[in-house]
Amino acid sequence: MNIHDLKCRFDGDKNSYAYVDTKKKYDLLVSYEEWASGGLYDMEPLEAMCFGEEIGKKLKKKPTRVNGKTCYQFDSDRRIIIRQEGTELPNRFNEEFFSYEDNEINSVRFGTTQNLINAKSRILSEGKIIKVLSVGTYGDRTKLFNYENGIVVSIDVEEISRGQTQTYCIAIGYDDEGNVKHIARLFPNGYKETIYPR
């Protein structure tokens, strides 16, 4: 799939992504769920850290207040099929629904008002995500993942919003034990923005 195909699917088939129908379909597939204090499982390499978020911790049960908490719902094959992110509104979530194909993980994301926010396609090669295409209400994004010795060392990003294109690279550094030491956005004009640590 390419960004054009994904955009056509997002723009032309919005009705097929109606929240109520999608939710009903996926709820039938849920085998169990896990709650976390934030993003616990990445659907892309270093997904939470690249957004400057702390990795969440697993919770024993659904919290009374869900703001900032994340619920992961799994199918019988132990794959994440729904990710719910709690908001300030009581028991209202941003929800992302995942489907799995041979070399793709696709998803659609809805907001608290059940509006379609974006559609994503994660392309895999040899079991690793090498490209993520995202088309949404506020713009499109393409991410290319660069690996060395099996770990992501950089991500090339192109964002298009309101006819404007922006490119940058996310550079990732590791310590001697293989733990992430720092993450930064590097822009073509030389500007550097530290994402991690904050």
Q: Is 143 exposed, middle or buried (0-12, 13-18, 19+ CB in 10 A)?
A: buried
Give SS3 for 52: coil
Walk along the chain (198 residues) and give the pLDDT tens digit of each residue: 677 777 776 665 555 568 888 999 999 999 999 999 999 999 999 998 998 888 899 999 999 999 999 999 999 999 999 999 999 998 899 999 999 999 999 999 999 998 889 999 999 999 999 999 999 988 999 999 999 999 999 999 999 998 899 999 999 999 999 999 999 999 999 999 999 987
Q: Say what the pLDDT of residue 14 is.
A: 59
Cα 74 from Cα 159, distance rounded (Å): 31
Eight-state DSSP code of residue 27: H
What does DSSP say about strands 139-148 and 151-161: parallel, antiparallel, or unpaired? antiparallel
CB atoms within 10 A of CB 27: 11
Q: Say what the pLDDT of residue 19 is.
A: 86
CB atoms within 10 A of CB 172: 22
Q: Say what the pLDDT of residue 53 is.
A: 85
* Token pair in block for residue 31: 């085998």
Cα 121 from Cα 104, distance rounded (Å): 6
pTM of the model: 0.91
Alpha-carbon torsion angle 123, 126, 130, 132, nearest 10: 20
* Token pair in block for residue 64: 């009374």
